[in-house]
Structure 1
Amino acid sequence: MSAEVAPDEDARDLLEDLVSIPSPTGEEREAAERLAAFFEDAGREVWLDEVGNVRAPADDSVLLTSHIDTVPGEIPVRVEASEDGIEELWGRGSVDATGPLAAMAAAAVATGVSFAGVVGEETDSRGARHLVADREAPDAVVNGEPSGWDGVTLGYRGFLAGEYAVETDSAHTSRPEPNAIQTAMAWWSRVADAFEVGGSDAETPVFEQVTAKPVSFEGGTAADGLSVEAGVEAQFRIPPGESAADIRETVEGAVESGEIEWREPIPPVMESPRTEVGRAFRVGIRRVGGDPRLLRKTGTSDMNLYAGAWDCPMATYGPGDSELDHAPNERLDLAAFDRSIAVLKRVCEDLEE
């Protein structure tokens, strides 16, 4: 049974303030300033760097870091009791990832470890990319994303995005030759078939699969009326053991006409549960009355970038039910938020020894 933990009122105030400040990607400044003020009030050195990250370096035995930005969407901010009597904070970002962000800020102030709140995670991870280019590796990293207060995430799939474009001469629609829109549709059908999991692989966990997903499809007659154009923006999740190069080769092999422009990939990551960070979380969660759960996520996070750049142990942790990420009913159990701070404090104290 989980332990009762006294609420940290300053942390709860920070959480509610941050959730109340809209901070979709590209509009994080006001939330970043509120976060920086929390560290200033605690007497900590803090600043906003050139990309907008909140930087509060200190004891580098561990770096606590989470993202400031959220996806768009307005959810009225309020505290309500659920049908089970659980006190919950509703609002965009309460789970992904303002809850983990505020918990980490509170734990960093309480223990004196380093902290960074980064921008842009929901799009291009520009904050994390800048962070790894601008500072030395810490001794350990705890990245903030919802895992549940008694869970710790050790693995994420990687990410690859690209845009396919094709053009054909315009022609009367009675002609049988495929136009660019049909060509693009046929290309995507071949890509989907190439990555379909079935037969003997039907029981393969999603974490171990390549997931191919179109996220936008555009097409029509060009402005000059002389051609038909089509474009597909596609995303691919890369499991451990697969590479972006292999996925690109498969996707490009499905192209009969047109071309693909690729973006920089993010590699997958799978950390061992036997590292100092994994051990510290197992101990910390048990001390707060939980039964530790070790997780693998099918998405991608900034931890992928940290693992690719820094040779140190790491994990991802934070309060919140990840099923509510980006959802219209996003809400955070406040008692679980309090317990997550207690776990983070114990983890930091353990790693500081």
Structure 2
Amino acid sequence: MDNLYVIKAGSSTLYSGSGFFREVMEISRAGGKVLVICGGAEAIEREYRHQEIDVAYLPLANGDRVRYCSPEHMDVILKAYRERIGNLINLAAQTLDFSAYYQVAGDNQLVTGKLGKPLKITEGGRSRIVRDSLYGGFNDAKTAVLRALLESYDIVFLSPPIWESHARQYINIDADMLAAHLAVALNANHLRFVTGTAGILRDINDSASTLHDVYADDELAVSGRMKQKVRACQLALQQGVCDIAINGPHSLSATATWFWRGTGVSEPMRLLNMMVNISSISGDESVLANFLSQRLAGSGIDAQIDPAGNLVLSKGNGPNTLLMLGHLDTVPGLWRSDAGEDFVSGRGSVDAKGCLANFIDVLRQVEVPPHARLLVVGATEEEVSSSKGAYYVRDNYPANAVIIGEPSGVMHVAIGYYGLLKIKVTARKGMEHTAARDAKTSIEHVYEAAGALRAVMNDFDSNNISNIIGITHRHALSYEESQLVINFRVSPEARPGYIEPLLALSGNGITVEIERSTPGYKSSRTNPLYRALNQAFSRVLTDTPPRPVVKKGTCDMNTLATSWRNVPFIAYGPGDSALDHTDKEVNYTEDVLLSRRILQETVVNWMRLNGGEK
């Protein structure tokens, strides 16, 4: 399940009227799957007051304090969750018009745990053992049931307690730890802890003293309830694949303390490591876009999020615009990212967050002269057929030259890409017995049609590459139908005019539909942008020229080049493109920083050449 958000919110946040419910509703409506883990401190205290019962706490030997959960009080705690938290959720769902599912996590043994050991407490300077407090830790969850609920409802809400199977009773669990364990079990993309402060504060008396970044090897001195949040974050860092933050006060969009994987990461590589830590699968790029926009705003860079969800960064106001176009999104399939002194690994480290991180660093460093404008765009949905971000760029951000952020390797530059032609073939025929003479199924018909499509394309483009990427089949009462999807990678040398002969293959129960047609493209090497790159190589690598290549994939260069005539394009960035879309993506510090130097020199050269200088 992609784009899953696990969000822990205390009952003080649920009661606060801060707009939290609207925030999670908006995540759901944007396509995210949302699991909210509800804490209950305030709701439980209200229920205790309502029943005129004193809340009992146990002072632990280590200085912490925990709620005493005796068997007699478990019914009070369950009532606080089921009625008070449940009523808050029902009211929000009715008011904001979203579908919600709520239950105590232990109901129907959805989440099970293990009873904790007897507690050693200290009272009046004396120690004693408490054996009847019903608390414990996470053991297991019915993840298939949880995924089904997440597919069926806009937002799923759970709360402690959980179920102890051996003791056959409910046990309490810290809601922060429950959220972390479920994020790990479900391979969540995002884990958030919404609290009453602006993240972790360096000084609890100063609301503006937020600690913005915590790394895996940092030692933190925190107290009170924040201790459990930090423990939960550390658990998710070590065992999960999600990005992790503590947000507040009482809002997901408020100030955050972020937790980052990796140890010994050098300062020039930290932004890339952060970007790789943040999940941004196609359609779920907003977390990364907003993070970068907030981090870069006010540093001499104009930072915006446009209507397509693109991150748009700019410096300078001159008439000559150099666009550096990267993309925010990645293909699905996360694994736990890692980083050290000489590498960053994880989904997107090569394709293509290394390139975008370099664009951002160069934008920070370069002084833009009055005649120039430097524009960096992190586009959305590059990895899917929609190319939503690139089409918006094409129609709204004209430029005089374009550097595309795709992994070419330090020594190579891509001057062209194959195009993408995506075709759907449908065959429908009446039902007949397969033993009939000359009987053919619709499956055979779509395969024959695929062969005919290949013959046409081979005539127009002998260098094309084709792959069948999907086939489906279904039976109805009086007919059977098959659909086949085939991709053609179309070389820049393809003769024009192939669309009409392909569509002409429709007929006799066969329908041919073009789902995407982006032609191949190859840029010239006799333009100021390529000259600027050549000069950069000569200066940085001592007269070593770049090695131009035409790549067989398709990227946003193709999308822009269909409309932008006489605009020079190159694609340049660190990383081995053979690792694209694999579970072995890794970018090395030496390559990232060397390509960054070459990129910065290229940008400076281009602005000089376009200012009339030689």
**TM-score of the superposed pair, with normalisation by structure 2:** 0.51
Question: 349, 353, 357: which is aligned to 1:98?
Answer: 353
Determine the C-alpha separation between the residues in 1 that align with 2:523 and 2:462.
Answer: 15
Question: 123, 139, 164: which is aligned to 2:400?
Answer: 139
Q: Is the CA contact (8 Å cut-off) linking 1:191 and 1:254 kept in structure 2? A: no
Give 1:26's aligned residue: 283
Residue ranges of structure 1 left out of the alignment (5+ in a row): 1-7, 82-86, 198-206
List aligned pairs for 1:262-273, cutoff 5 A. Answer: 262-273=514-525
Give the CA deviation at 1:173: 2.9
Determine the C-alpha separation between the residues in 2 that align with 1:341 and 1:239.
Answer: 29
Give 1:109's aligned residue: 364
Q: Is the CA contact (8 Å cut-off) linking 1:163 and 1:233 kept in structure 2? A: yes
List aligned pairs for 1:66-215, cutoff 5 A. Answer: 66-79=326-339, 87-111=342-366, 112=368, 113-123=374-384, 124-135=386-397, 137-176=398-437, 177-195=439-457, 209-215=463-469
Task: Determine helix, strand or coil for the equivalent of 1:46.
Answer: strand
Q: Is the CA contact (8 Å cut-off) linking 1:238 and 1:267 kept in structure 2? A: yes
Determine the C-alpha separation between the residues in 2 that align with 1:100 and 1:118.
Answer: 12
CA 1:331/1:343 → structure 2, altered by over 3 Å: closer, same or farther? same
Give the CA deviation at 1:244: 6.1
Q: Which has the higher contact order (CA 8 A, sep 6+)?
A: 1
Give the CA deviation at 1:255: 6.2
Give 2:513's aligned residue: 261
Task: Determine helix, strand or coil for the equivalent of 1:100.
Answer: helix
CA 1:218/1:248 → structure 2, altered by over 3 Å: closer, same or farther? farther
Give the CA deviation at 1:304: 1.2
Question: 464, 476, 492: which is aligned to 1:240?
Answer: 492
CA 1:313/1:193 → structure 2, altered by over 3 Å: closer, same or farther? closer
CA 1:268/1:195 → structure 2, altered by over 3 Å: closer, same or farther? closer
Q: Is the CA contact (8 Å cut-off) linking 1:120 and 1:127 kept in structure 2? A: yes
Q: Which has the larger radius of gyration?
A: 2
Q: Is the CA contact (8 Å cut-off) linking 2:410 and 2:594 kept in structure 1? A: yes
What is the CA deviation profile of residues 98-144 of structure 1, one whole-angstrom value per residue up to 9, with x for unaligned ones?
11011111111212421111001111211010111123x21211110
Indicate yes or no: 2:581 matched with 1:329. no
CA 1:248/1:10 → structure 2, altered by over 3 Å: closer, same or farther? farther
Q: Which moved further from structure 2: 262-271 or 319-328?
A: 262-271
Task: Determine helix, strand or coil for the equivalent of 1:245.
Answer: coil
CA 1:97/1:208 → structure 2, altered by over 3 Å: closer, same or farther? farther
Runs of at least 4 residues of structure 1 off by over 6 A? Answer: none
Determine the C-alpha separation between the residues in 2 that align with 1:9 and 1:80.
Answer: 8
Q: Is the CA contact (8 Å cut-off) linking 1:75 and 1:90 kept in structure 2? A: no
Determine the C-alpha separation between the residues in 2 that align with 1:333 and 1:10.
Answer: 14
Q: Which letter maps to 1:22?
A: S
Q: Is the CA contact (8 Å cut-off) linking 1:80 and 1:90 kept in structure 2? A: no
Q: Is the CA contact (8 Å cut-off) linking 1:154 and 1:315 kept in structure 2? A: yes
Give 1:65's aligned residue: 325
**TM-score of the superposed pair, with normalisation by structure 1:** 0.87
Determine the C-alpha separation between the residues in 1 that align with 2:512 and 2:405.
Answer: 33
Q: Which moved further from structure 2: 255-264 or 342-351?
A: 255-264
Q: What is the percent sequence identity of the aligned residues?
A: 26
How much is the aligned-residue C-alpha RMSD, in angstroms? 2.3
Instruction: State how many pairs are aligned.
Output: 330
Q: Which moved further from structure 2: 184-193 or 244-253?
A: 244-253
Determine the C-alpha separation between the residues in 1 that align with 2:321 and 2:444.
Answer: 56
What is the CA deviation profile of residues 56-114 of structure 1, one whole-angstrom value per residue up to 9, with x for unaligned ones?
23344311110110001113211258xxxxx2211011110111011111111212421
